């Protein structure tokens, strides 16, 4: 019998999971425990010395969380993954393994507002410096390179604008420079885009969004593609050099193509401590089981709503890559042929005040700061998520004063359109 790779929906339900060996429970149990009993002193020593895999303490490993990690790694086509407490925690732990004080990384200007803040301000406390580039001008990433550059960071589909990034072109620049490409794949999910197939070395998610999908759990994940040679030089000493806390063990030499995931776990997660709750891991696992069904419905609904808005006289413009006339439509067809996702922006002719009035008058859409929920969500970024930026920074981030962001849910599209219609008229 020939073995075949399971399909996406099958992996979404089964990857990483087996019936519980003690009880036979089919659904992955919630291992709500802080710590785990060792077989004997030698077993404990081998676990602490990274000579054996197993559970020590839930801050580092947990059986429920391990299923989540294996499942997302399988969906993304990676070698291993590490789940953490939030998307921001995933970014922190990732860069902690890559950067030393004084190092630089290049990031796309079009990013989630919270990520822009984290990169611009909080990372400075570690001596990590961001250099901005423009995904509409791919060559700007090459111009931004310097001897201090240690990574390039982009979003596959950018938040809040829903614009699609040319991953392969930027991956080529990263490869030539000898630095890893990090792709935040939150808005696309692996159902729409698999960044590793296009040259990404590390993939990140806010599990809070489409992977969990139900607006009930915060989480983040780091997926190691297993594609980067961390030992080609000494630019990444955390991976290439002997680790004193592990008796001189070299992580890349020992763990090969999943060394980055190990480094993030046994150094970043161990010492920084942003552990994911096993209960949240359980809820996110449950959400992933319906990922393909939900994301397809999200995308189909979003396209219908975007088409309706494009014809509405109160709307100045719509930026949705699923529309044939959109400047990112060809990139969407290349990278995301099953749909352009659920998140997009549009501008109201009435500007800032019209945006505030719209979000105040919707009834079915929820006015809140999240995306990727089964429910449809709306926000005016200039007065909320991006309010800490000046007007120039807002515009560069795709969150100008007239911009409204939608995260279209899986309700009946006719009801969503009717709600926007009454709110615009109000």
pLDDT tier, 211 (very low <50, low <70, confident <90, very high otherwise): very high
Per-residue model confidence as pLDDT tens digits over 66-105:
999 999 999 999 999 999 999 999 999 999 999 999 999 9
- What's the pLDDT score for residue 389? 73
- The pLDDT tens digits for 408-420 are 999 999 999 999 9
- Report pLDDT for 401: 83
pLDDT of residue 326 exceeding 80: yes
Q: What pLDDT was estimated at residue 1?
A: 35
Mean pLDDT (the chain, rounded): 95
pLDDT digits (tens, 9 = 90+) for 138-149: 999 999 999 999
* Confidence grade of residue 160 (pLDDT, cut at 50, 70, 90): confident
Distance, in Å, from the CA atom of 287 to the CA atom of 294, rounded to the nearest integer, reads 9
Domains of the chain: 8-287 (3.40.640.10), 291-425 (3.90.1150.10)
Mean pLDDT of 107-134: 95
Report cis status (omega within 30 of 0) of the bond before 223.
no
Name the pTM for this structure: 0.94
């Amino acid at each position: 019998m020939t073995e075949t790779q399971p399909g996406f929906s099958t992996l979404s339900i089964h990857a990483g999971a087996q019936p519980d060996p003690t009880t036979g429970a089919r659904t992955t149990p919630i291992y709500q425990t802080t710590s785990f009993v060792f077989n004997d002193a030698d077993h404990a020593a081998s676990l602490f010395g990274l000579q054996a895999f197993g559970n020590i303490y839930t801050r580092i490993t947990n059986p429920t969380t391990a299923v989540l990690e294996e499942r997302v790694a399988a969906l993304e086509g990676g070698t291993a993954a590490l789940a953490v407490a939030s998307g921001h925690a995933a970014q922190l732990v990732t860069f902690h393994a890559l950067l030393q004080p004084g190092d630089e990384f290049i990031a796309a200007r079009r990013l989630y507002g919270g990520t822009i803040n984290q990169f611009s301000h909080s990372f400075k406390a570690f001596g990590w410096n961001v250099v901005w580039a423009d995904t509409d001008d791919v060559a700007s990433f090459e111009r931004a390179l310097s001897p201090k550059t240690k990574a390039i960071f982009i979003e596959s589909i950018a938040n809040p604008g829903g614009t699609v990034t040319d991953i392969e072109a930027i991956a080529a620049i990263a490869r030539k420079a000898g630095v890893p490409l990090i792709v935040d794949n939150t808005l696309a999910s692996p159902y729409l885009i698999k960044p590793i197939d296009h040259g990404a070395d590390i993939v990140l998610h806010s599990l809070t969004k489409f992977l969990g999908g139900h607006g009930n759990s915060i989480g983040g994940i780091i997926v190691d593609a297993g594609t980067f040679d961390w030992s080609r030089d000494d630019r990444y000493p955390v991976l290439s050099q002997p680790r004193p806390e592990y008796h001189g063990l070299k992580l890349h030499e020992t763990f090969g193509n999943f060394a980055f995931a190990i480094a993030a776990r046994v150094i970043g997660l161990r010492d920084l401590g942003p552990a994911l709750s096993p209960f949240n891991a359980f809820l996110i696992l449950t959400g992933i089981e319906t990922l393909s069904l939900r994301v397809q419905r999200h995308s189909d609904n979003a396209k219908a709503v975007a088409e309706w808005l494009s014809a509405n006289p109160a709307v100045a413009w719509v930026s949705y890559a699923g529309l044939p006339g959109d400047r990112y439509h060809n990139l969407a067809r290349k990278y995301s042929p099953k749909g352009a996702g659920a998140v997009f922006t549009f501008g109201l002719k009435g500007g800032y005040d019209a945006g505030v009035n719209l979000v105040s008058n919707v009834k079915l859409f929820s006015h809140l700061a999240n995306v990727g929920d089964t429910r449809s969500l709306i926000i005016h970024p200039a007065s909320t998520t991006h309010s800490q930026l000046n007007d120039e920074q807002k515009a560069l981030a795709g969150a100008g004063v007239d911009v409204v962001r939608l995260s279209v849910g899986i309700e009946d599209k006719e009801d969503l359109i009717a709600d926007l219609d009454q709110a615009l008229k109000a």
